[in-house]
C-alpha cells in the first residue's frame, strides 16, 4: 500500500499506510525501503518515460516526505538511513533554483544528507563547503549559458586546493551537455533530476565516492 500510495500521489493514503505498517509491527526501515523508496523509483521511471510530469514528481516527493515524518521517529539509530552527503548549489551569476530544489528533494527522500548552498554561489564558497563539510558528491546547477564557465572555475579551484580527488562532481542545467561536463573536468552530467539522483546513488553503492 505504501508503494501504491506514492505511485498514485496519495498523501492521505501514504500517511495511513505508514501508520498501519507501524501498528502491524512492520519494521520502519522495511517500510521506507520496500514501500516509500520503491514507490519513488517507479515515479522516477514514469517521469523519464514521459508518463508523469513535473507536477506529479514534486507531489510524489511531498507524499514521501509525509511518510518519512511518521516512520523516521521509530527508526533505531543503527537503522537511520544515510546514503551519503552531497553539497548542492547554483553557480555565481545564476538565480535559478527550481531544478536544484527538485534534485535536493529527491536526494533527501532517498537518504542523502544535503547541504544546500542556495543560488548565485561563488566558486570559493563551493570550495570551502567541500573542505569543511567533506561531502562525497558536489552538485552544481546552471540555467544561463553565460554562467556555465563558473562550473569550470569551481573545479579548477578544487584542484588547486587539492580537494577534487575527495569529491565527485556532477553538473546539470538546460544549456549543458555531457561533452561540456567532460571539458571542465566534471565527473558526470545529468540531463534531469531523476537521472542525477540515480547517478549519485550508483556512485555511493559502488564505493566510487571517498
- How many CB atoms are closer than 10 A to CB 94? 22
Q: Is the pLDDT reported for residue 18 higher than 50?
A: yes
Q: What is the mean pLDDT of residues 131-153?
A: 96
Q: Which three three-digit cell numbers place residue 75? A: 527508526
What is the rounded CA–CA span in Å between residue 105 and residue 193?
Answer: 10
Q: Which three three-digit cell numbers place residue 68? A: 518519512
Q: Is the pLDDT reported for residue 70 higher than 80?
A: yes
pLDDT band at 78 (very low <50, low <70, confident <90, very high): very low
Minimum mean pLDDT range among 30-44, 83-97, 180-194: 30-44
DSSP 3-state of 131: helix
Residue ranges of domains in the chain, CATH in brackets: 2-79 (1.10.1240.10), 84-206 (3.40.50.280)
pLDDT at 90: 96
pLDDT at 76: 60
pLDDT band at 77 (very low <50, low <70, confident <90, very high): very low
pLDDT band at 25 (very low <50, low <70, confident <90, very high): very high
Q: What is the mean pLDDT of residues 101-116?
A: 85
Q: Is the pLDDT reported for residue 91 higher than 50?
A: yes
Amino acid at each position: 500500500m505504501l508503494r501504491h500510495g506514492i505511485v498514485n500521489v496519495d498523501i492521505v493514503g501514504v500517511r495511513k499506510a505508514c501508520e498501519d505498517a507501524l501498528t502491524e509491527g512492520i519494521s520502519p526501515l522495511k517500510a521506507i525501503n520496500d514501500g516509500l523508496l520503491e514507490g519513488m523509483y517507479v515515479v522516477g521511471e514514469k517521469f523519464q518515460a514521459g508518463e508523469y510530469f513535473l507536477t506529479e514528481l514534486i507531489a510524489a516527493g511531498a507524499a514521501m516526505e509525509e511518510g518519512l515524518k511518521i516512520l523516521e521517529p521509530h527508526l533505531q539509530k543503527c537503522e537511520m538511513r544515510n546514503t551519503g552527503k552531497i553539497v548542492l548549489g547554483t553557480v555565481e551569476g545564476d538565480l535559478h533554483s527550481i531544478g536544484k530544489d527538485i534534485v535536493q528533494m529527491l536526494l533527501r527522500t532517498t537518504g542523502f544528507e544535503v547541504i544546500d548552498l542556495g543560488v548565485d554561489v561563488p566558486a570559493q564558497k563551493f570550495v570551502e563547503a567541500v573542505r569543511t563539510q567533506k561531502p562525497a558528491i558536489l552538485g552544481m546547477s546552471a540555467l544561463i549559458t553565460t554562467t556555465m564557465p563558473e562550473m569550470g572555475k569551481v573545479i579548477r579551484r578544487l584542484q588547486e586546493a587539492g580537494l577534487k580527488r575527495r569529491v565527485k562532481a556532477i553538473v546539470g542545467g538546460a544549456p549543458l551537455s555531457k561533452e561540456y561536463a567532460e571539458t571542465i573536468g566534471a565527473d558526470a552530467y545529468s540531463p534531469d533530476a531523476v537521472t542525477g539522483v540515480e547517478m549519485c546513488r550508483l556512485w555511493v553503492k559502488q564505493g566510487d565516492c571517498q
